[in-house]
A and B are shown apart, each in its own frame.
Chain A
Amino acid sequence: MYLFSARNIVKRYSDNLVLDRVTINVPEGIIYGLLGPNGAGKTTFLRIINQITAPDEGELFLSGRVFVPKDVATIGYLPEERGLYKKMKVGEQALYLARLKGMSKADAMSKLKYWFTKFEIQAWWNKKVEELSKGMQQKVQFVITILHQPKLLIFDEPFSGFDPINAALLKNEVLELRKNGSTIIFSTHDMGSVEELCDNITLINKGRTILEGAVHDIKIEHKSNMYEIGFTGDPAAVVERLNGSCQVVDQHDEITVHYVKIRADKSLSGNDMLSRVLPVASITSFNEIIPTMNEIFIKVVEAQNQQQTPEL
């Protein structure tokens, strides 16, 4: 059973098809990445989940039943374009936004105290928002988003605008939220954070889903039998022994160690490769090269873009 599902979501703005039958299924307790280039329709999709805009077609489900507007209270949403009232005091504002989400004053107050202490930002309580730096404001906003302990958290580009220290702090919080049972959907183009955090992803391009599944599976699916061997010895001899059932695509040296990158036939195992090379070189490292999400992202998106270009 999925905590959240969106089925065949279609959204048009005048003649522009922004989302074309997008479907995602988010199991409970995972971190779900929504990836895609700029303008792919991610923000529109997230707004639809949050009932800010209505889809033209398609349905949303929460815990197996149809999503109703009241359910937004169980969602925490951190939009990409975030802001606060500049002239309002931090504490007062946090309290206000928490109560708009339906929390009682006392409950909001005690939770805010907990989070402000945890993030060591108690001193900001009576400051006006305009006195805080942008990063500080983002922190406050993060607290406001997760305060009502929503089952489902939606972050739109959560790490943009944070310095590395605060981004790391935030990533830890996100992981902890998952540990405590929250389900998180976040959109990003930062593939590094996808590798670090996401269990599952959906990749949208031009309003269509072009890739989806568990990060682990996707990577395995997209690996292309690439290996890298590090050794000392005669590079020419090594290349010669590998040629045939392997193809050397790259080689380089680092101090005394030579590296060759090879694409192997599927039938060839790592052990086979090593046994060929062993007589002529002493091995220092042997790796299978798993593609990064970044590479997969670029490969898949470009493939789709090329496919579509002739149609135009």
Chain B
Amino acid sequence: MNKIGLIIWREYLTRVRKKSFIIMTFLGPVLFAALIVLPGWLAQVEDNEVKEIAVVEYDAAGGPVPDSLQFFRNVIPDKENIKFIYLHNAVLPDVLKAFEASQYDGVLFLPQTLISAGRETSVEFYYRKPPSLGMEIHIAKSIEKFLFSNKLITKNIPSDIIQSLETKINLNRINWKNWPNKQEDATDVKRGLGYVGGFLIYIFIFMFGAQVMRGVLEEKTNRIVEVIVSSVSPFQLMMGKIIGIGLIGLTQFVAWLILTLGISSFAQQVFLPAPAVQITQQAVPTDIMSSDDTPAQTTSSPAGKEQAAVMLNGIMRQLGQINIVLVIGAFLFYFLGGYVLYGSLFAAIGAAVDNETDTQQFMLPITIPLILGLFVMINSFINPSGKLAIWFSLIPLTSPIVMMARIPFEVPVEQLLASAALLILTFLGTTWLAAKIYRTGILMYGKKVTYRELWKWIRY
């Protein structure tokens, strides 16, 4: 075995045998599943807390109104977690004075003058804790709808006609290339896939990059480095470490992939026997607005299992439309490219400093583009072929993350090639740069290193 092979082998073996690696391999998919499921679950938990909203109505003259004359009574339907209580003959200042001790979470004030309001008006809502976005939308929409039909009724339009006016629209996105057979749209699954891919690369770069840095620092503070560089060149040592840890990353990824496939095929076994009734468009909530009513629908459904089956079935069929090989191939390429790019910089930092606390000042310039990449990736879901997404998927410092968000949405070949070429060139460049810093840094002790100092090392 040649020397660099030996180094890779040691880096790999010592890490793959660690308990933390084994635990992470098994826990990883569970944690990821939790990461995806948890926010929804948490939102639900919060929503389950029933809120009571008092409604105070005034007549056109600005005085309290008894039950029998209340115009807005029951206009806003209760929801699972919001109850509306319409107060009898209530005076707003009195209600608010007693608000502190009352059981109400909010007071909605509706003057009857609203009926003749023009294109836009507002109503007052007094809160104890700020209302959720969902509650705001629910209240506003309910009143809008009521005022709308009320205006029509005053124009003598029969209520059955009014009801027939309502049509709920779902936008059915179809790629024009799929036009003749109107293939089902897979945008949501594509977004999900892009998100998972990009996020995984972001985490991997950070996790394994930091491992490279710590490994280099360990060798330096251990003082073993001088023994080793009397046998191999510093470049071999650095590359061996980067490659060895990269292989650990790949091993972890493959293990996660296999485990996830195993778990999901198990889930299919459990859920799929239920009859697949229809495909819902709402496989993955697309935006905040609609996500407000979906959880209520899914959770209130008595046949949760059936729905889950439908959803899973849908996802599986949508996945079928995506070039999975391309996605996995791109993932591997961008993971490795991004990892080598950042890993070499992390190695240079580890070599330049004497202890972990000193790494902070050099970490910042590396962390910023990574986090920027993550933000742009999330933004790219709104418009995967927008200018922002295109540029940041070309810039090598962010491309590994941002391109993953675009890959499921058929990226033009020339952009893909340009991005890949730039990434390769850049990681060759950073490795060369890092090797120069590394070579000098690993034998330099007890000196607080500055950027100027690093620049000198590069020019040696």
Measured CB to CB, the nearest residue on chain B to A51 is B230
B213-234 vs A, Cβ < 8 Å mask (1 yes, 0 no): 0000011001110111111110
Measured CB to CB, the nearest residue on chain B to A100 is B231
A82 to B231, CA, bound (A): 14
Question: Closest Cβ of chain A: how far from B48's Cβ, in Å?
Answer: 48
Please indicate the chain B residues that have their CB under 8 angstroms from the CB of A85 in the complex.
14, 218-219, 222, 224
The answer to whether A79 and B232 have CB atoms under 8 Å apart is no
B1-20 vs A, Cβ < 8 Å mask (1 yes, 0 no): 10100110010001000000
A86 to B221, CA, bound (A): 11
The answer to whether B14 and A97 have CB atoms under 8 Å apart is no
Please indicate the chain A residues that have their CB under 8 angstroms from the CB of B218 in the complex.
85
A99 contacts partner chain B, Cβ-Cβ < 8 Å = yes
- Write 8 A-B pairs (CB below 8 A) sorted by A numbering: A47-B226, A78-B227, A81-B445, A96-B6, A97-B231, A99-B1, A100-B228, A141-B227
Please indicate the chain A residues that have their CB under 8 angstroms from the CB of B456 in the complex.
14
Please indicate the chain B residues that have their CB under 8 angstroms from the CB of A62 in the complex.
none
A2-44 vs B, Cβ < 8 Å mask (1 yes, 0 no): 0000000000001000000000000000000000000000000
A51 to B224, CA, bound (A): 16
Please indicate the chain A residues that have their CB under 8 angstroms from the CB of B229 in the complex.
52
Option from A72, A73, A87, A99 in Cβ contact (under 8 Å) with B6: A99
Interface size range of chain B in the complex: 20 to 34
Asked, given contacts A14-B456, A100-B3, A100-B6, whether A82 binds B230 with beta carbons under 8 Å apart, the answer is no
The answer to whether A79 and B223 have CB atoms under 8 Å apart is yes
Taking each of A50, A78, A79, which has the highest tally of chain B beta carbons within 10 Å of its own beta carbon? A79
The answer to whether B230 and A72 have CB atoms under 8 Å apart is yes
The answer to whether A97 and B222 have CB atoms under 8 Å apart is no
The answer to whether B443 and A47 have CB atoms under 8 Å apart is yes
The answer to whether A86 and B222 have CB atoms under 8 Å apart is yes
Please indicate the chain A residues that have their CB under 8 angstroms from the CB of B228 in the complex.
97, 100
Option from A79, A88, A102 in Cβ contact (under 8 Å) with B226: A79
A163 to B222, CA, bound (A): 21
- Nearest 8 pairs of A and B residues by beta carbon: A83-B223, A83-B222, A81-B223, A79-B226, A100-B231, A77-B230, A50-B230, A83-B224
Taking each of B1, B3, B7, B229, which has the highest tally of chain A beta carbons within 10 Å of its own beta carbon? B229
Q: Which B414-460 residues sit within 8 Å CB-CB of chain A?
A: 443, 445, 456
A18 to B229, CA, bound (A): 21
Question: Closest Cβ of chain A: how far from B67's Cβ, in Å?
Answer: 77
A87 to B17, CA, bound (A): 12
Please indicate the chain A residues that have their CB under 8 angstroms from the CB of B231 in the complex.
72-73, 97, 100-102
Option from A75, A81, A83 in Cβ contact (under 8 Å) with B230: A75
Q: Which A73-120 residues sit within 8 Å CB-CB of chain B?
A: 73, 75, 77-79, 81-88, 96-97, 99-102
Asked, given contacts A82-B227, A96-B10, whether A52 binds B222 with beta carbons under 8 Å apart, the answer is no
A79 to B443, CA, bound (A): 11
Question: Closest Cβ of chain B: how far from A97's Cβ, in Å?
Answer: 7
Measured CB to CB, the nearest residue on chain B to A87 is B14
A304 contacts partner chain B, Cβ-Cβ < 8 Å = no
Please indicate the chain B residues that have their CB under 8 angstroms from the CB of A84 in the complex.
222, 224
